Structure 1
Amino acid sequence: MTESVKDIEIPRGPDDLTAEWLGRAAGVHATRVGVEPVGTGQTGATYRITVFDHAESTSGTYIVKLGAQDIQVRERVALGYRAEHAFYTRAAETLDVPVPQCVYFDISEDAQDFVMVMSDCAPAEQADQIRGCSPAEAALAVRALAGLHGPRWCDPAWLEFDGVTMPLASPEFAAGMQTLAEMALDTTLRMIGDRLSTSDREVLRTSASMVARWLTMRGDVFALLHGDFRADNLLFDGDSSQVTVVDWQTITIGLPARDLAYFIGTSLTHDDRRAYERRLVETYHAALVDAGVTDYDLDTCWNDYRLAMLQIPLITTLGAAFAAGSSRGDDIVVVMLERACAAIRELGTLDLIAAE
């Protein structure tokens, strides 16, 4: 990967993604490029660049990720841009999680502007958060998750890793996060109006009131977390035999099962989660063992999975409150929170936290 070349400016928008810029930054020879947006662009702006040669033939495609086009959003999520830079430049090669090849990365000193050029994983396609993953896709995803957590399970070096959006929580940090979680929930509920039931709202308010306690539980078991490991951040090939994990702007240090619960609880339909969650937890645990994790039995993994369901309302409401809104984004928030509340009730998560 080529990193920040001083005399190459960071593009601010799609008009800056020229053939000349791509050639200087990533060593890609092109006479011209085609640029088209990809995704909804809530916390960043992503584009597919098609490279054309002298004969006007297509010679390849790349994915380019920039900061959000709204300057206020960039200011709010700059920590996430810094986190993604830290992941690709200082962590990815030490893990066994499938990610796109990063060709070029640059970030400004204040982290509000950044650019990342990646290999295009097409014809792999993004999963659909609202429709959810199939059981086969979910099994691939939890194995990939074990490839993130397992190789450096409880590695003390993570405690000094300064690129994360949230460190392993101290009591003081956890108290601050609870205040933020309660504010974010209020903002989210105002944003989505009456689209959630009264019982779901009660679950969410109780969950937010337990964030400080929850964040400091199980602090002896930790790894690097993706933080937003869900269907929309996964690319699957056509026959669901391969998955690629994208969007590393929310990396965190914490209980690994938080990623697992967040994925299963948000990225499967209610019926599929109920039918397959135990099997998926077993698949994840077996992959951890294959990665060399010891002293972590399946029963403990299952209880951690139940406990970790608070990851969903915490991250979902923070994202809703601080990212740029969109119609599909609002629909996703509602679906994720509905699925979360059902899982929290059925798994007894709040009682489990209260009993600790």
Structure 2
Amino acid sequence: MTAALRGGGAGDVTVTGLRYEPVGTGQMGSSYRFHLEYAGDGAAAPAPRTVVVKMGAGDPASRDVVRRGYRNEVGFYARLAASVQIRVPRCWQAAISADSRLFTLVLADAHPARAGSQEAGCDVEQAADAVRNLAGLHAPFWNSALLDAESSWLERSDDAARAFMGELHVAATAEFVERYRTRLEPADADTLRRAAALTYRWQVACESPYSLLHGDYRLDNLLFPADGPGVCAVDWQTLSIGLPARDLAYFLATALPSDERRAHEADLVASYHRRLVELGVTGYSAADCFTDYRRGMLHGPLITVLGCVYATAVRTDSSDRMFLSMARGACAAIRHLDSLELVASGS
């Protein structure tokens, strides 16, 4: 811990004692809060009194499925976090093994900020804070060739990958609809099937503009302060390159009740767009942004269905409610915004 903090810029500190307890319920890793003791009279700023340590979970030999996520998260903190404007925890250390099965992140402790809840949703003010924060991820790498330098660990989809994802989504949707056949409205089941059938075409249509995507920018992966704005984004395993409005659409469709989203989405999308412009994005109109927001809505069914069907965590009533809430919100938004027709027409 001494080496991690010194390497991260905490100065000439020496950790002499620590205790820790588990925090969160991560499905791809384990997180712990470490309470630190220092030599001398105490830690000099900026050395922290507590940090959160995140690492791999389960048998290292069986982590092939999740090691890409490990690589993405460590790569983000080690190589990209300093270049974006989105609020993220300070990273004191980001380390990963050569085979990507073992990793360690030492992060600033955001306590007393609290994670959002998919079931509880959020209010419009929190949503506005979150979408402006999201623009801080997208703007710095907007259509940027600098992302090519990250190709050794940050993968871009090719045609074969898009075709595979389309087939996977169709199969997973059939399982999702069957699993929840007594709890899904027929209209939502139909929307999920139609969205899955368009996955390949949708991915092709979402190649430009491009930037970094969080990929799973939703309430459970956001930390909200007790009072006022200042939301912080965590859990970067799903980092990718793609249409920025996919993150925006996914967040608003799953964070706000459908009636609230319909009432406020124009203003919220406009707020996101204004923040992009403030951060230097040019040649991207507010009208284009809203069209991409409509197109990006198909990200919701994709992430919700795949996340549900291929989750490694034990299925619970709470997780069922969460996935159903996300599916219903995404389907309602897709129908309201005619997103399927937009993608099918190639507009």
TM-score (norm: length of structure 1):
0.87
Map 1:72-83 → 2, pairs under 5 A = 74-83=63-72
284 and 164 in structure 1: CA distance in 2 versus 1, 3 angstrom threshold: farther
Q: How much has 1:220 moved relative to structure 2?
A: 2.8
SS of 1:128's equivalent? coil
Residues 1:64 and 2:53 are matched in the alignment? yes
Residues 1:35 and 2:25 are matched in the alignment? no
Q: How much has 1:75 moved relative to structure 2?
A: 2.6
**Out of 207, 225, 235, which is 1:237 matched to?**
225
Aligned residues between the structures? 333
Q: How much has 1:54 moved relative to structure 2?
A: 8.1
User: 1:75 touches 1:112 (CA, 8 Å); kept in 2?
Assistant: yes
SS of 1:212's equivalent? helix
**Out of 140, 154, 160, which is 1:151 matched to?**
140
User: 2:138 touches 2:213 (CA, 8 Å); kept in 1?
Assistant: yes
196 and 73 in structure 1: CA distance in 2 versus 1, 3 angstrom threshold: farther
191 and 345 in structure 1: CA distance in 2 versus 1, 3 angstrom threshold: same
More off after superposition, 340-349 vs 44-53: 44-53
Correspondence for 2:335: 345
Correspondence for 1:258: 246
Q: Which amino acid aligns with 1:23?
A: T
More off after superposition, 323-332 vs 88-97: 323-332
**Out of 333, 340, 347, which is 2:323 matched to?**
333
- Name stretches of at least 5 consecutive residues in structure 1 with no aligned partner: 1-21
Structure 1 distance, partners of 2:75, 2:330, is: 29
Map 1:183-202 → 2, pairs under 5 A = 183-192=171-180, 194-202=182-190
Structure 1 distance, partners of 2:295, 2:231, is: 26
Structure 1 distance, partners of 2:228, 2:276, is: 21
User: 1:73 touches 1:322 (CA, 8 Å); kept in 2?
Assistant: no
Q: How much has 1:300 moved relative to structure 2?
A: 0.9
Map 1:15-54 → 2, pairs under 5 A = 22-27=1-6, 29-52=14-37
Q: Which amino acid aligns with 1:34?
A: R
Q: How much has 1:124 moved relative to structure 2?
A: 1.3
SS of 2:319's equivalent? helix
C-alpha offsets along residues 301-331 of structure 1, whole Å, 9 cap, x if unaligned?
1111011101011112222233323423332
Map 1:203-282 → 2, pairs under 5 A = 203-282=191-270
User: 2:208 touches 2:242 (CA, 8 Å); kept in 1?
Assistant: no
- Name stretches of at least 5 consecutive residues in structure 2 with no aligned partner: 7-12
165 and 156 in structure 1: CA distance in 2 versus 1, 3 angstrom threshold: closer
Correspondence for 2:273: 285
Aligned-residue CA RMSD (Å): 2.3
Structure 1 distance, partners of 2:182, 2:148, is: 41
Structure 2 distance, partners of 1:165, 1:198, is: 38
Correspondence for 1:123: 112
259 and 279 in structure 1: CA distance in 2 versus 1, 3 angstrom threshold: same
**Out of 101, 121, 124, which is 1:135 matched to?**
124
Aligned residues: percent identity? 41
Structure 1 distance, partners of 2:152, 2:296, is: 23
Structure 2 distance, partners of 1:73, 1:331, is: 29
Q: How much has 1:240 moved relative to structure 2?
A: 2.6
SS of 1:117's equivalent? strand
Correspondence for 1:305: 293
Q: How much has 1:72 moved relative to structure 2?
A: 7.9
TM-score (norm: length of structure 2):
0.89
